[in-house]
Amino acid sequence: MTTTSTSALEEIQAREARHVLQTYRRNPVTFVRGQGVRLYDAEGREYFDLLSGIGVASLGHAHPGLARAIADQAQQLLHTSNLFFHPLQGQVAEKLSSLSGLPRAFFCNSGAEAVEACLKFARRYWYTRQEPRAEFIALEESFHGRTLGALSVTSDEHYRAPFEPLLPSVRFVPANDPTAIKAAVSTQTAAIIAEPVQGEGGVRPLTPAFAAAINEACAASGALFIADEVQSGLGRTGSPFYYSELGLKPHLMSLGKALGGGVPIGAALISDEVAKTISYGDHGSTYGGNLLACRAALWFLGELTDGGVLENVRRVGRIFDERLHALQAKHAFIKDVRGVGLIWGLELSRDAAPVVQAGLANGVIVNRTAETVVRLLPPLNITQDEASEALGRLDAALAAAGAAA
Ligand SMILES: Cc1ncc(COP(=O)(O)O)c(C=O)c1O
């Protein structure tokens, strides 16, 4: 780092320290430019981005088609509110419906808002049926967001404790324990909520046997099932949504992250059975599904289904699978490798933070989740060659972190 750039970073840090609420412990890097899977910092150093802004920059950085679509939309019309029609919201909803099998969409701006909407719609369903049910069943190691409703179904005590009391009547059961979920669900249960692949909890896919138990519990009790596909959905696993790989039958689904390729947009998808219990005014969002967000989402969805992105995830996913298992054989402190498509977690026998730091030093971006897990969420259009080079850098980072321990 040169003296000038160090002082530029220091100046940025000092200004944030004075005026930005200190809720994020940031890495000391300032990115100024991106190109595909590569990011560049203020000193012009190149990094392979195997995190894509936590699964958001789904088509990589500065994607020319997405950039053109956004610029074009900005020159026409960005926002008019949900008081009026515009041509794009229905088109995004139609595409999401054909991909998911859930016929209706409600648009919002983030994953947490999508979860929040699903929880409200589940309550509304039971209210309309004049059989109010308050209870939600969620899973241990879950993460659904930071708003009060979403936090209420998030298991981590560290996130919850300062904000209690949260929603009453939330029960947590261990993931992948069919007996526990069947025992927990009753005719008091409004809905079960689960991530088909638990992301923040350490990249833990649900098992088909557990999925079958969720289906059985819902059928026996009438409880709704909410699939939180904010992280696992929209091509991340090589399928449009991972629920279908598991045989789950969601009534509601939350989406976010990848959908706008970096432009904030979230969506709750809703079955007809639930949708018909919801009335005008029950929920709303000023920004939700505006022209800019929908234009970006349409571009992303087009690339996903017609631009070869899904096939790419499956193809390059196999390289990640092979190479990450080879890294496990080489580095003894990798205890487990979990994932599918382009969502992967390396469970270490120690804190994962030094690997993240060594990654930055070696020009590759990964992150730590659940303390001991190195998580990888690369752009969905990463090529085989890029994957190979990036994983070479990760190998070097693992070696450096291993040697330093
Ligand atoms: C499964 C899941 N649900 C919800 C959220 C919350 O999304 P957001 O941070 O966009 O509010 C996340 C974020 O990581 C997530 O992984």
Sheet holding 38-41, edge to edge: 31-35, 38-41, 46-49, 364-365
Q: Considering 106, 136, 143, 225, which one is annotated as catalytic?
A: 143
**How far does the centroid of ligand 1 lie from the alpha carbon of residue 112, in Å?**
6
Pairing of strands 197-198, 266-270: unpaired
Could you confirm whether 395 is annotated as catalytic? no
Q: Quote the tokens at residue 305.
A: 């289904």
d(CA 86, CA 138): 36
Is the CB of residue 199 below 6 angstroms from any atom belonging to ligand 1? yes
Q: How far apart are CA 47 and CA 379, in angstroms?
A: 13
- Residue from 139, 170, 144, 174 nearest 159 by CA: 144
403 C-alpha to ligand 1 centroid (Å): 34
Q: How far is 96 from 300, CA to CA, in rounded Å?
A: 11
**What's the confidence (pLDDT) of residue 5?**
66
Residues 200, 228: Cα–Cα separation, whole Å: 12
Give the list of residues 6+ apart from residue 240 with CB closer than 8 angstroms, or none: 99, 100, 233, 234, 304, 305, 310
Burial 40-70 (b: 16+ CB within 10 A, else e): ebbeeeebbbbbbbebbbbbbbebeebeebb
Nearest CA-CA partner of 98 in 269, 229, 255: 269
pLDDT of residue 55: 98
| 55 CA from centroid of ligand 1 (Å) | 10
Residue ranges for the chain with pLDDT beneath 70 = 1-5
Pocket residue to mutate for ligand 1, from 23, 144, 253, most atoms within 8 A of Cβ: 144
Q: What pLDDT does 3 receive?
A: 44
Could you confirm whether 282 is annotated as catalytic?
no
> Are 335 and 325 contacting, i.e. CB atoms less than 8 angstroms apart?
no
Catalytic (active site) residue 257: yes
The pLDDT of residue 330 is 98
With a 6 Å cutoff on the Cβ, whether 145 touches ligand 1 is yes
Q: pTM, whole model, 2 decimals?
A: 0.97
Residue 339 identity: G
> Distance, CA 113 to ligand 1 centroid (Å)?
9
121, 210, 228, 320: the catalytic one is 228
Q: Give the ligand 1 atom nearest the CA of 199.
A: 16
Dist. CA 115 → ligand 1 center (Å): 8
Of the candidates 239, 381, 390, 373, the one whose C-alpha atom is nearest the C-alpha of residue 320 is: 390
- In the numeric block, the tokens 């790989």 are attached to 245
Q: Does residue 290's CB lie within 6 angstroms of at least one atom of ligand 1?
A: no
Question: How far apart, in whole angstroms, are the C-alpha atoms of residue 100 and residue 14?
Answer: 46
Nearest protein CA to atom 7 of ligand 1, as residue: 111
Q: Is the CB of 200 under 6 A from ligand 1?
A: yes
Tokens of 133: 């049910």
Q: Looking at this protein, which amino acid is placed at residue 248?
A: L
**In this structure, what token pair is assigned to residue 4?**
């000038």
